[in-house]
Structure 1
């Protein structure tokens, strides 16, 4: 057993696992000796990935076809997990396939986006993090986007959902760090995923040069999991991100706010 598997094993749950960074996370975990429960909406690529991991790595892998925007998604993920000991939860789903102004889409589109990006993630973290806290070990990795640092006319709902993930991760990190549970939100830049390629193709735009590879993003996220709460892809810890603050600055801010709130609410 690797040191990583000892800290975050024996099972991981990866949502949005059928392609892109989710697929990369699942394969990277298998290489580290951790079995995965893969969750996504599409059956065929999910089942193929599970078969691939079992054959290539000799690691147990199961999959569950679940729409993360469905009202019962949290219950179905918990059911698929069963009594397995989950030491790592990776929330990877959460792309924006719209690239549209808020009022140019039906409200149902945006409600689904919020359920998928925030509400299902929130419920899963609550479900999996409690046993981690009791065991005194585990990890929560919330994949994020640079959109978390500010809104724009084409991403009003999406950037708001990612800002929620950012501040939630910071607060949860401060809450759980004394219990041995690591929390990290990985703020990605532009990454070469099928979802991005589909959106660019719809807009008749080329794939930019030099964008990140999903495998590199996943590897760095797992490597830096214990250095939460924020990791900005492509930037050093002290380097300012889009929000003009560095990951190090946000870490200090989370600690200061946590200390202040403890004085108010009691701890």
Structure 2
């Protein structure tokens, strides 16, 4: 399963109006893919699509009930056969757990988990027929508890576990399912969440994250981590007590005194 070529393939990218999603769109366009970009920002989506060779847009707020089915129904109404689904849409909130509004906490679960699972469910039969697959954008936060981003980290841990489980189910059925875990990345995520959410880490360029994901996808790997330092940190954490690891994460991610903010990726 190493011969996958994105040229001529139809790819759905959620959260496609900015950040990693926009970078996926640009890189896939350069590789000859036909794009369906999904996000709630109509102006940003249409402006991006106008600069790409083959791109359509679907304006949808994926936090709303039934959004995944509406996206799928619109794709089929347009007569499109999707080869790859990239579940990139997500957002995080940084701050003490009880200081973040419950609506925001629940919103992270609804988008990062609920919409991702529903989109995966409705598109998977089509992806299997097309012998394509799914890239789920997880995070380094998936690999250990993340104090002060407790719900966000937990949602990404779900994404990683869910994706690797599906990989095992579908790897012999012609479907690639891969989790892509970036560390801190230079996107609008931190413009509103604040630099504390990065834990002082040097931010990677989104182009490197996206190219890694697209280059590793054909190899049918269950998951991939962007950055050698991130990979080594994840590997090393296995040899320390979890209590020690989470205490260290609390020191790294503790917010500076400032107003709580949240952002979409």
TM-score, normalised to structure 1's length? 0.80
Counterpart mapping for 1:31-180 below 5 A: 31-54=30-53, 60-82=54-76, 83-96=79-92, 98-135=93-130, 137-180=131-174
Contact 1:185–1:231, Cα closer than 8 Å, also in 2: yes
- How many residue pairs are counted as aligned between the two chains? 234
Secondary structure at 1:69 match in 2: coil
Secondary structure at 1:178 match in 2: coil
Query: Which residue number in structure 2 is paired with residue 228 of structure 1?
Result: 221
Task: Give 4+ residue runs of structure 1 displaced > 4 Å after superposition.
Answer: 205-210, 236-240
Shift of the alpha carbon at 1:23?
A: 0.5
Shift of the alpha carbon at 1:33?
A: 1.1
Secondary structure at 1:53 match in 2: coil
CA distance 1:129–1:237, shift in 2 (3 Å): farther
CA distances 1:46-80 after superposition (whole Å, capped 9, x unpaired): 110000103xxxxx211111111111211221123
CA distance 1:206–1:162, shift in 2 (3 Å): closer
Q: Which has the higher contact order (CA 8 A, sep 6+)?
A: 2
CA distance 1:31–1:148, shift in 2 (3 Å): same
- Structure 1 residues not aligned, in runs of 5+: 55-59, 246-267
Q: Whole-Å Cα distance in 2 between the matches of residues 219 and 173 of structure 1?
A: 20
Shift of the alpha carbon at 1:164?
A: 0.5
Matched, 1:241 2:234: yes
Contact 2:39–2:60, Cα closer than 8 Å, also in 1: yes
Secondary structure at 1:125 match in 2: helix
TM-score, normalised to structure 2's length? 0.80
Shift of the alpha carbon at 1:239?
A: 4.6
Secondary structure at 2:172 match in 1: helix
Query: Which residue number in structure 1 is paired with residue 259 of structure 2?
Result: none
Contact 1:200–1:207, Cα closer than 8 Å, also in 2: no
Contact 1:149–1:243, Cα closer than 8 Å, also in 2: no
Contact 1:148–1:160, Cα closer than 8 Å, also in 2: yes
Shift of the alpha carbon at 1:210?
A: 4.2
